[in-house]
Amino acid sequence: MGNNLLKGKKGIIFGALNDMSIAWKVAERCVEEGATITLSNTPLAIRMGTTEELATKLNAKLIPADATSVEDLECVFDESMEALGGKIDFLLHSIGMSPNVRKKRTYDDLDYNLLNQTLDISAISFHKILQVAYKKNAINDWGSVLALSYGAAQRTMYGYNDMADAKAMLESIARSFGYIYGRAHNVRINTISQSPTVTTAGSGIKGFDSLVDFSERMSPLGNATAAECADYCVVMFSDLTKKVTMQNLFHDGGYSSMGMSYRAMEQYIKSFEGLKDEAGNIILG
Ligand SMILES: NC(=O)c1ccc[n+]([C@@H]2O[C@H](COP(=O)([O-])OP(=O)(O)OC[C@H]3O[C@@H](n4cnc5c(N)ncnc54)[C@H](O)[C@@H]3O)[C@@H](O)[C@H]2O)c1
């Protein structure tokens, strides 16, 4: 049941691939809260995934676009404004992909052409979306823009690879464009730094299941789910957060403020079982 938090608002949601996608849950929640939306994803993702099903369910126009193409993005804004009957009020960038991770290139053996693609898809696409929107004056005053980030932007995480650099850049773009768009049109731009979440993109990360378990044990409130992330996005798109901008907002059950928790320590101690001598000292090997 919605609370009409987005009643009458119009938005564009990028990145719903299937029903595990964070963007899928956000799209559903936005419509539940009274918004009308358009959806966008790459032609390949639309073929491989189930975005069309979501578009039908939510009565949303689905606009194919590669978010690295300025030309494609111009079409997304033109067609969205036509379908929705005017400028938009909110936008979600839920796009991420590392060809280096896909090809199992480690961080000390990156392919630089692939690194450029990682940055273009996962970070620069956010700048392109904002620049196209700005030049077309496509977002209403007091509109709200969000992109999804991850804590590896601040702290090194084993296996997150060049996506960490992309997320750091994504968060920086939110600040840099947040100043310009805020100054000109009172549009706010933020990133939400989400807990590890089981999705198609998430599962590509090395050791992902262990990462999910570790952050669950470390977070006093447990990992935030995709549905909970959708709730947070709705609040950030609503008029209840009009003066929040240029922030990276942690939505991670408290993980980012923790150093060690009892539940993680307990598991860590267990890992030494069988590795102790008779006096109880750890045998270092
Ligand atoms: N799953 C997690 O653990 C987690 C945690 C924190 C942040 N995030 C971020 O959330 C966002 C959404 O990811 P998700 O976990 O829902 O996975 P997902 O795989 O469902 O979504 C990723 C989306 O990016 C789209 N995409 C890839 N290349 C694109 C391109 N060139 N143009 C347009 N779209 C393109 C894919 O088609 C897909 O829909 C990503 O930015 C991801 O990094 C995910």
pLDDT in tens, 141-180: 999 999 999 999 999 999 999 999 999 999 999 999 999 9
- The percentage of the chain sitting over the pLDDT mark of 90, rounded to a whole number, equals 89
Say how many Å lie between the CA of residue 97 and the centre of ligand 1: 7
Say how many Å lie between the CA of residue 204 and the centre of ligand 1: 11
Say how many Å lie between the CA of residue 23 and the centre of ligand 1: 8
Quote the mean pLDDT of the chain.
Answer: 96
| 98 ligand 1 Cβ < 6 A | no
Question: Whole-prediction pTM value?
Answer: 0.96
| 96 ligand 1 Cβ < 6 A | yes
Mean pLDDT for 63-89 is: 98
| 19 ligand 1 Cβ < 6 A | no
CATH match for 10-208+221-260 among 3.10.450.50, 3.40.50.1110, 3.40.50.720, 3.40.50.150:
3.40.50.720
* Count of residues in the chain: 285
- Is it the case that residue 285 has pLDDT exceeding 70? no
- Minimal-distance CA residue to ligand 1 atom 9: 148
Q: Would you place residue 283 in the very low, low, confident or very high pLDDT band (cuts 50, 70, 90)? A: confident
| 146 ligand 1 Cβ < 6 A | no
- Is it the case that residue 1 has pLDDT exceeding 90? no
pLDDT at residue 273, as a whole number? 78
pLDDT at residue 284, as a whole number? 67
| 199 ligand 1 Cβ < 6 A | yes
Mean pLDDT for 132-145 is: 98
- The percentage of the chain sitting over the pLDDT mark of 70, rounded to a whole number, equals 99
pLDDT at residue 272, as a whole number? 80
Q: Looking at ligand 1, which atom is closest to the CA of residue 226?
A: 16
- Is it the case that residue 99 has pLDDT exceeding 90? yes
pLDDT in tens, 208-240: 899 999 999 999 999 999 999 999 999 999 999
